[in-house]
Amino acid sequence: MSRVPVPCHVKGTVTLQVGDVRTSQGRPGVLVIDVTFPSVSPFELQEITFKNYYTAFLSIRVRQHASTHSPAKWVTCLRDYCLMPDPHSEEGAQEYVSLFKHQMLCDMTRVLELRLILRQPSPLWLSFTVEELQIYQQGPKSPSMTFPKWLSHPVPCEQPIPLLEGLPDPSRVSSEVQQMWALTEMIRASNTSTRIGRFDVDGCYDLNLLSYT
């Protein structure tokens, strides 16, 4: 399904913490990232992609119009989505993630604003965030094609012509020819990068030193 990136403005992260940030010993475990769409009218969100950086859990809230004329409200569309199965270890810490609209708890139509709530309960990591955030909406649908009549209504099979003496079965030949044609098409289409085993250049493999670059 085609998708179109939506230009968005990602505000800086805001840490949520009880008490004074300067004096408290611990690290904030919750961050909030606001995403606004200043130049775009309310749209239907298709996909969110980002690169994780040591965030353990992600919640997303969306501000949307419930129906065309009602005022906009904040709704939670993703709750505590787990990005790192073990918050203390590296697994999942730097993965690329895609979230689709069918994974969301609510309908993602008429989206005005997004708020990402990142949580990292482990004190082991110095910082955490998400990077390369991209929002996508649905692209234009591909033009519907009308199938030619003979494709959608195949002609019923005719009686097979009687085999001539000594000649192979025509349906078998035709299927074999089709297979060969498919193979040649595949080979032509694929850019084969398989090496043929040569490591020298025109028979010469005189080397002096290794290169550092």
Contact positions toward other proteins, by CB under 8 A? 53-54, 85-86, 88-91, 93-94, 123-127, 129, 131, 195, 197-201, 204-213
Of 52 and 137, CB closest to other proteins: 52
CB 123 within 8 A of CB 26: yes
Of 90 and 158, CB closest to other proteins: 90
Q: CB-based contacts of 52: which residues, under 8 Å, 6+ apart?
A: 83, 84, 92, 93, 94, 95, 96, 97, 130, 131
Residue 123 C-beta: closest distance to other proteins, Å: 7
Provide the b/e sequence for 50-60 (b: ≥16 CB within 10 Å).
bebbbbbbbbb
Burial bucket for residue 146 (CB in 10 Å: 0-12, 13-18, 19+)? exposed
Find the angle CA(205)-CA(211)-CA(213) to the nearest 5 degrees: 140
Residue 212 C-beta: closest distance to other proteins, Å: 6
Residue 209 C-beta: closest distance to other proteins, Å: 5
Tokens of 1: 């399904």
Q: What span, in angstroms and rounded, lies between the C-alpha atoms of 13 and 74?
A: 19
Residue 127 C-beta: closest distance to other proteins, Å: 6
Of 167 and 210, CB closest to other proteins: 210
Of 152 and 193, CB closest to other proteins: 193
Residue 114 C-beta: closest distance to other proteins, Å: 20
Of 46 and 55, CB closest to other proteins: 55
